[in-house]
Amino acid sequence: MSFEALQKRIKTTQELREIVNNMKTLSSVSIWQYEQANKALDKYRRNLRNAFHALLLNNGVPRVAQKARIAQKYLYILIGTDNGMVGKFNKEIIEKVRNDMRTKKIARKDVCVFVVGRRLATLAEQAGFNVYGSIGISNSVKVVGSLAEKVLLTIDEVTQKNRVDHVSVYYHRRHGNTSVVLENRQIIPYDKSIWKNLRAKQWDTNNFPQVSENKGRMFTALINEALMISMIRFLNGSLASEHFTRMTNMQEAEKNIDENLERMNLEYQQQRQENITDELIDVISGADAMRKK
């Protein structure tokens, strides 16, 4: 490689490193935003659990909610990404669904999927799944609430229209500060052990709350709020995991770029030294020639 070409390549690689570093920084900030949003939901979720607790102690949970039905039709909510540089983020979800269906011996005809993420929807269709619908996913913490609402409206529509009685969500979440894991969370039917544990638990204070509202309507409202919070948490967790995966990939790319820059800078210095040496030899040779004349 010529000296000029090497200079140009070093400059281009330095510019690429700057882009990679900016992407890594943006992902780091985004992770913080989504995880802070979930932390903010934790207090509300505790208040919601207390409301369920009070309703249970007032015998306000309908019998149908305490009895799990045998699932015959399945709806899987798949949360993926529409952005790149995340490796097998979407493909892992497809493989996980396939493996779970194989393990549980669930026929494909009994499953439909609703996909958050256009790219993942394409993969699901290519894999032969019955895709009920899909929506794009936005990388903004401000729109996660409206996105969760659209998903829940779809769940309500599918469960009524197709008589679905089993709904699960597939999404990624961060595991500590070092890795990302793929989760499968069942949201319908409701886990009756939650009601059992809350009913067995004593109220924390002597001021036992009395429920004056219609208990059936209150139960429905609390269930809807619980589903909304869960869906927002799933979406935030997935988006944080996406950015964490991208940040990790950018860190690896940055490492490779630094190694390449170090090698090219060494080659540049060697070529520069050789050029200087050649120029000095030419000058000395010219001086000797002039003296001989």
Cα separation of 252 and 137, whole Å?
26
- Which CATH entry fits the domain spanning 3-24+249-288: 3.90.930, 1.10.287, 1.20.120, 2.60.120? 1.10.287
Q: Which residue has the tokens 């903004």?
A: 140
**pTM of the full structure:** 0.86
pLDDT per residue as tens, the chain (293 positions): 677 888 899 999 999 999 999 999 999 999 999 999 999 999 899 889 888 888 888 876 665 444 444 558 999 999 999 998 899 999 999 999 999 999 999 999 999 999 999 999 999 999 999 999 999 998 889 999 999 999 999 999 999 898 898 999 999 999 988 899 999 999 998 887 877 788 788 888 878 777 777 888 888 899 999 999 999 999 999 999 999 999 999 999 999 999 999 999 998 888 888 777 777 777 677 666 677 66
What's the pLDDT score for residue 215?
80
DSSP for residue 88 = T
What's the pLDDT score for residue 287?
65
Please say whether the beta carbons of 64 and 184 come within 8 A: no
What's the pLDDT score for residue 195?
75
Asked whether this chain's domains 3-24+249-288 and 35-244 adopt the same fold, the reply is no
What's the pLDDT score for residue 276?
78
Cα separation of 16 and 8, whole Å?
12
Where b means 16+ CB within 10 Å and e means fewer, 59-79 reads: ebbeeeeeeeeebebbbbbbb
What's the pLDDT score for residue 198?
81
Cα separation of 188 and 150, whole Å?
17
Cα separation of 148 and 155, whole Å?
11
The dihedrals phi and psi of 182, each to the nearest 5 degrees, come to -100, 125
What's the pLDDT score for residue 67?
45
Cα separation of 67 and 209, whole Å?
26
What's the pLDDT score for residue 202?
84
- Which CATH entry fits the domain spanning 35-244: 3.40.1380.10, 3.40.50.150, 3.40.309.10, 2.60.40.10? 3.40.1380.10
What's the pLDDT score for residue 32?
94
Domain ranges in the chain are 3-24+249-288, 35-244
